[in-house]
Amino acid sequence: MTDSTERPVAASGTYRIGGDLPVHRLGYGAMQITGPGIWGEPADRGESLRVLRRAVELGVTLIDTADSYGPFVSEELIAEALHPYPDDLVIATKGGLTRSGPGQWHPVGRPEYLRQCVEMSLRRLRLERIDLYQLHRIDPKVPLDEQIGVLRELRDEGKIRHIGLSEVSVDELEAARKHAPIVSVQNLYNLTSRNSQDVLERCEAEDIAFIPWFPLATGKLAEPGGTLAEAAARHDASPAQLALAWLLHRSPVMLPIPGTSKVAHLEDNLAAAAISLTGDEVARLDALA
């Protein structure tokens, strides 16, 4: 068995989260294995379990989830499908958002609630320590030092290994770093949505992992005759694969986590790891923003 043929995701390269957690750069986001509106059980539980197992078979070593996906459903499915976990698998989860219904999300950053979130994620995921725990949203009603402080305490207690953030500005990132080391940022970023470019650049400068959510915003870009469609045709690839390949070429700290609830779609996405873009192709795709 070789990584290049049996675990093709290895071709995406390796990044060390926090300097000590090596992962293949193309990961899997486990949001879509729940029901509509990221609420409740998936329509096909068996297929969701197959997706998780197939991702690992193909070489994924970073799976990103959150307690609010379902809520709780995504974490439970990951444990059911993959526990006991492979030694090289990093499961990142998030806490700090509550749910009141499909498509509804509300930040809660009280320290006692965040502590409860970590304890319950540990139980659902069947872990003794969470390798990467991310504050899903900063709660504007709670002092930031209290939110980061409790995560630092949980790290010191050995319940989490590293702390990350989600949907933050450069100023918020720097404010959080005053209270604890931050090893990752998860912000919206793709071919057409690059409002977090300054955050990405700060992450590059500080060697902080940048995890773009919603990486596959292809939409009209995938229409015949467009730059993305033409580039995909040259590589005998799908527009989604090109969008992921562009992200991988965009920055060495970029860790895309495309999500899906179908094995066929998963396999298509992960094939992006092997696509090599020329400098001219990258420049033309850069210009699509």
pLDDT band at 5 (very low <50, low <70, confident <90, very high): low
Instruction: Say which of 15, 69, 133, 189 is annotated catalytic.
Output: 69
Q: How many CB atoms lie within 10 A of CB 193?
A: 15
pLDDT value, residue 226: 78
pLDDT value, residue 6: 74
Inter-CA distances, 255 with 29, 61, 192, 211, 277, Å: 11, 11, 17, 5, 17
Q: DSSP secondary-structure letter at 28?
A: E
pLDDT in tens, 122-160: 999 999 999 999 999 999 999 999 999 999 999 999 999
Q: Which residues of 70-91 are buried (b: 16+ CB within 10 A; e: fewer)?
A: bbbbbbbbbbebbeebeeebbb
pLDDT value, residue 288: 84
Helices (H), the chain: 3-6, 45-57, 73-82, 111-125, 144-156, 170-177, 197-206, 227-234, 239-250, 263-270, 279-286
Q: DSSP secondary-structure letter at 11?
A: G
CB 92 within 8 A of CB 125: no
Of 158, 205, 196, 157, which Cα lies nearest the Cα of 177?
205
CB 144 within 8 A of CB 165: no
Of 74, 209, 221, which Cα lies nearest the Cα of 132?
209
Helix then strand count (H, E) for the chain reads 11, 11
pLDDT band at 68 (very low <50, low <70, confident <90, very high): very high
Q: Which residues of 156-166 are buried (b: 16+ CB within 10 A; e: fewer)?
A: eeebbbbbbbb
Domain ranges of the chain: 3-216+253-258
Q: Which CATH class, in words, describes the domain spanning 3-216+253-258?
A: alpha beta
* Higher pLDDT pick, 231 / 52: 52
CB 95 within 8 A of CB 65: no
Q: Is 15 a catalytic residue?
A: no
Average pLDDT over residues 163-180: 98
> How far apart are the C-alpha atoms of 78 and 82, rounded to whole Å?
6
Count of residues for the chain?
Answer: 289
